[in-house]
Structure 1
Amino acid sequence: MSDLGPVTPSHDGRRVVIRGAGSIGQRHARVLGMLGADVSVWPVRPRGARTGDQQILDDLTGPAALSSADLVVVATDTSRHVTDAVAALEAGAGRVLLEKPVAPTRGDAAALADHPRAADVWVAAPLRAHEAFRHLSTRLHLVGAPVSAHVRCHSWLPDWRPDRDYRDSYSARPDEGGVLRDLVHELDYAAVLFGRPTLLGARLEHTGPLDIHAEQAATLLWHTELATVTCRLDYVTRPTSRGVEIHGPDGALLWDVPTATVTHVDSVSRATSTAFPADLDRDTVMVTQARAALELAPDTDPAQRHTAGAPATLAEGLATLDLCDQARSRS
């Protein structure tokens, strides 16, 4: 259950269709309902529909619902993302919020990237909606330039869904899973902080303690005009560790996601930490993202989007796919 507390509904009458009724689809349905939207859920597999009070659509009623939707959330398997997003746009939906990643590869995303309504697509990026991230992004000047940074997300895949064998999950499949796709949020927020990357090197690890065919770990090195960045993503580490360390001539900034804290260390090692406890509640973060997706357009001024905790644009989502494809080709 959420610790969010009362949320003032502010989008009464907005029609939202959630395509897909897995755990993430159910969460989208819940938080958009909290905002006052009129939410319907269209499962891919009816047996997966456990959505509370939302209206349940089927293959007969779903297409018509898309045409009148202000927002369609695509929360299906990665291999279906492009097809389901294009279907929503072609039906006449106002906008689409697409779960990450956009597609398994950049080439697989061509039909959406080239669609005449591509500018109406958001790509889910909830780390952008964390208060701590928005705080961090306004304080990069404190460390000076140029900077070096290390982005990390260490986790243990069997702990992600304890009630399900991890080997049966999409994460384990080489065509849909692997850390580059699952943990693409780290690549997304790094681009917000440091700019578009030029990849210098990558190592993907397909062997390890997990019995899966997808990559279990990835280490990337890239540079931008502002920074040199290393990134480590893995499914094979306990305890969980997630965040970024940024170092420059005037000090350091550290974001620790599990504790929702940002620490500034000045040039003489004096440390000041700020906590953002609201970030520890996932529904709070998702409400921030959902509100921005309803209120703003993807072509809104970037500064306004970042301040609001909005999702990524389709162009930004495609850029992370490009980086992932480059990493696979170099490993």
Structure 2
Amino acid sequence: MTATVVVRGSGSIGRRHARVLRSLGAETHLWPVRPRGVSGSDPATGATLLDEASGPAVVARADLVVVATDTGRHVADTVDALDLGAARVLLEKPVAPSLPDAEPLATHPRSGDVWVAAPLRAHAAFRHLLALLPSIGRPVSAHVWCQSWLPDWRPDRDYRDSYSARAGEGGVLRDLVHELDYASVLLGEPALVGARLDHDGPLEMAAEQSATLLWTTPVASGVTVRLDYVTRPATRGIVLRGPDGSLEWTVASATVRHTDPSGSVVEATFAEDLDRDTVMATQARAALGMHPAADPASRHAAGAPATLPEGLSTLALCDAARALSAGASPPIPPAPVEPRDHEARHDPHDPGAPEETR
């Protein structure tokens, strides 16, 4: 049976979702936030266009609704889709600007039917890295980074006008939250030790330009994370070190490098990860074919998105980092946690390649 999908939000990430889902054979509808005054099919994606009059009825029978609107609308748009009767929702990151903002969704009776977009989990290289993790013994330390130069994201647009520069919606913690998510999959739930967010720097913007975090997990005694908008050339990856060797994932080249205790190196490259549509198709198939209640091992093997409790846990980590950087020292706010084994979003698969405003 053909799946029915509605993509709410028609910015570049929303259009990419629509194009990919249609390529998978889904009956795909695109519902822009701002009325376009046109009907029929969207020329860019081939998806059927909806409006305020036609949208609710299609959402009510949808197998999946993708919420790709502005961060400030994420919770309301997801709750609306669930209340209308959509079977499942795939919510773009982050869940909300802050954890308290997410409460109406976190406490919704159908919150278990929500996925949170986490496309780095759908990379073949990440799944290979996860499978290799036992080979280095218990990881002692890890360093995660995603660094690029914000003005390069869209050279034809002033970065100061983008959502990334806005204090309430942007900043590297919200923008690059995928790094926090996948590190937690690999190493377990973080306990934040230190955080520094820098608002001063070469860019003129209200949101933080960089963030440096330190945490521990039940597995690793030291995890450092560097996220910033102020680095050229762009670079993204992770290094994990343990008593039996090390692992390094270089996202830009889709390469995983395994070094054993003797220093011997084996590299594997996953060319399919270099195609963003291929990665998103992996995530989309999992979101359509699985329920968030599936066991973690099955979800990870399929390249499925994050669950809502995982998305909320990551959001809580971001809130705690902001508080700690500002001089407070609170614990990470409580959020539903499971065991781990937009309209203005830059593309999560390519540091430095933004997504246009919805």
Match of 1:184 in 2: 177
1:106 aligns with 2:95: no
User: What is the alpha-carbon distance in structure 1 between the residues aligned to residue 173 and residue 120 of structure 2?
Assistant: 16
* 1:161-181 deviations in Å (ceiling 9; x for gaps): 233221111111100000000
Q: Give the alignment of 1:211-290 within 5 angstroms.
A: 211-227=204-220, 228-290=222-284
Match of 2:293 in 1: 299
Q: Structure 1 residue 151: deviation in Å?
A: 0.3
1:46 aligns with 2:35: yes
User: What is the alpha-carbon distance in structure 1 between the residues aligned to residue 118 and residue 201 of structure 2?
Assistant: 28
User: What is the alpha-carbon distance in structure 2 between the residues aligned to residue 234 and residue 50 of structure 1?
Assistant: 35
Match of 1:116 in 2: 109
Aligned residue pairs total 320
1:94 aligns with 2:87: yes
User: What is the alpha-carbon distance in structure 1 between the residues aligned to residue 277 and residue 60 of structure 2?
Assistant: 28
Q: Structure 1 residue 62: deviation in Å?
A: 1.1
* Larger RCO of the pair (alpha carbons < 8 Å, separation 6+): 2
User: What is the alpha-carbon distance in structure 1 between the residues aligned to residue 248 and residue 107 of structure 2?
Assistant: 38
Structure 1 contact 72–93 (Cα < 8 Å) conserved: yes
Gaps of 5+ in 1: 1-11
One-letter code aligned to 1:312:
A
| Match for residue 80 of structure 1 among 51, 73, 78 | 73
Structure 1 contact 41–51 (Cα < 8 Å) conserved: no
SS in 1 for 2:7: strand
1:200 aligns with 2:193: yes
Name the % identity.
66
TM-score by length of 2: 0.88
SS in 2 for 1:137: helix
Match of 1:37 in 2: 26
Q: Give the alignment of 1:125-204 within 5 angstroms.
A: 125-204=118-197
Q: CA RMSD in A?
A: 1.1
User: What is the alpha-carbon distance in structure 2 between the residues aligned to residue 268 and residue 52 of structure 1?
Assistant: 51
Structure 2 contact 166–207 (Cα < 8 Å) conserved: yes
Match of 1:4 in 2: none
Q: Structure 1 residue 13: deviation in Å?
A: 1.9
One-letter code aligned to 1:195:
G
SS in 1 for 2:169: coil
Structure 1 contact 289–309 (Cα < 8 Å) conserved: yes
Match of 1:14 in 2: 3
Structure 1 contact 26–50 (Cα < 8 Å) conserved: no
User: What is the alpha-carbon distance in structure 2 between the residues aligned to residue 53 and residue 148 of structure 1?
Assistant: 47
Structure 1 contact 151–231 (Cα < 8 Å) conserved: yes
Match of 2:12 in 1: 23
User: What is the alpha-carbon distance in structure 2 between the residues aligned to residue 51 and residue 177 of structure 1?
Assistant: 27
User: What is the alpha-carbon distance in structure 2 between the residues aligned to residue 50 and residue 210 of structure 1?
Assistant: 36
